[in-house]
Structures are given as structure tokens and as C-alpha cells.
């Protein structure tokens, strides 16, 4: 298992096929980490699944959720399922989170307030400037 504590920004725009660089996010009161990094799979697809997990610190854990994106040819909210359960809960005792997602090449993960609502799926621009996004992290697939 590989852990990633990354305080760099996400690629905000998807230039269909390749994410572009984002400015570094300054350290803050909140931290989100990814401890289980899925394999990189640029093709992705609805029939493939991978596990992703991590931890959050610095917040009242019952008041926040995690939103995971996977990049293939655009940013897709994960997990994509028929019930649209895209808000990943955080365990209030341990601060950990986990999800089963469709793989991609890059995995941006956002810590959000419960009032966060995505505008569409997929998106060309990640919502890192949304006031309901507290902090974020991104890793490349392994």
C-alpha cells in the first residue's frame, strides 16, 4: 500500500486527453490523504473497478464528505452508480474513507461540505474554487 500526502493542486481544466497543471495549494487546517492508490488506466470504462482509500484530518468529520474524480478523457465523479452515491462518507472515529471506483490515469480527491453539489458529470473544469470545497489532493495512478 502506498500513501500519498500531496499538498499540490489539481489540474483544473481537462484538455481532452491530458490534465493541465494547477497551482500549489498552501498548507491549511485541513488535510486529505490518499493511502490506497488505484492503478493507472487511461482507458477506464464502466466495466472496470478499483479501490481507493485515504484519511482526513482537521475537521469535524461528521460534517464533511469526500468527492473523488477519475480522469480518462474528462473528469468523472466516482463512484458512478445508478443511485448517484458520489459523496463518499468519512468514518467519524478514524477519519478514514474508502470507495470502489472506475479507474483512470489521475485521481483528484476533494474534501467538501455537505452542501457541495456538482453541476454535471463529467466536467471539463474541476470545482476546486467552489466555496464548498475545503481542500483537495491529487495523485497519479500507480
Domain assignment present for 7: no
* Cα separations in angstroms, 103 against 29, 34, 96, 106, 132: 30, 15, 20, 9, 25
Domain assignment present for 59: yes
Top pLDDT among 1 and 95 is at 95
Domain tally for the chain?
1
Coil vs helix vs strand at 54: strand
For the record, the C-alpha cell of 44 comes out as 477506464
Domain assignment present for 6: no
Please tell me the predicted confidence (pLDDT) of residue 63. Answer: 84
Domain assignment present for 4: no
Predicted confidence (pLDDT) per residue in 130-140, tens digit: 999 989 999 89
Domain with 114, as residue range(s), is 14-140
Domain assignment present for 65: yes
Burial of 37 (0-12, 13-18, 19+ CB in 10 A): buried
Find out whether the peptide bond into 133 is cis, omega within 30 degrees of 0.
no
Rounded mean pLDDT, 32-42: 91
Q: What is the 3-state secondary structure (H, E, C) of 105-133?
A: CEEEEEEECCCCCCCCCCECECCCCCCCE
Please tell me the predicted confidence (pLDDT) of residue 24. Answer: 52
Q: How far apart are CA 95 and CA 89, in angstroms?
A: 10
Asked whether the predicted pLDDT for residue 17 surpasses 90, the reply is: no
Rounded mean pLDDT, 125-132: 89
Please tell me the predicted confidence (pLDDT) of residue 120. Answer: 80
Domain assignment present for 5: no
Domain assignment present for 95: yes
Please tell me the predicted confidence (pLDDT) of residue 21. Answer: 47
Domain assignment present for 52: yes
Predicted confidence (pLDDT) per residue in 100-112, tens digit: 999 999 999 999 9
Global pTM reads 0.79
Predicted confidence (pLDDT) per residue in 71-110, tens digit: 988 889 998 764 567 889 999 889 999 999 999 999 999 9
The enclosing domain of 118 has a CATH number of 2.60.40
Amino acid at each position: 500500500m502506498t500513501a500519498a500526502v500531496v499538498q499540490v493542486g489539481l489540474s483544473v481544466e481537462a484538455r481532452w486527453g491530458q490534465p493541465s497543471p494547477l497551482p500549489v495549494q498552501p498548507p491549511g487546517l485541513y488535510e486529505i490523504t490518499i493511502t490506497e492508490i488505484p492503478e493507472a488506466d487511461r482507458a477506464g470504462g464502466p466495466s472496470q473497478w478499483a479501490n481507493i482509500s485515504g484519511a482526513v484530518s482537521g475537521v469535524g468529520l461528521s460534517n464533511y464528505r469526500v468527492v473523488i474524480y477519475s480522469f480518462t478523457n474528462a473528469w468523472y465523479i466516482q463512484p458512478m452508480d445508478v443511485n448517484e452515491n458520489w459523496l463518499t462518507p468519512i468514518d467519524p472515529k478514524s477519519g478514514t474513507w474508502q470507495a470502489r471506483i472506475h479507474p483512470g490515469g489521475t485521481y483528484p480527491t476533494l474534501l467538501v461540505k455537505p452542501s457541495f453539489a456538482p453541476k454535471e458529470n463529467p466536467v471539463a473544469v474541476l470545482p476546486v474554487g467552489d466555496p464548498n470545497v475545503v481542500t483537495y489532493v491529487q495523485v497519479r495512478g500507480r
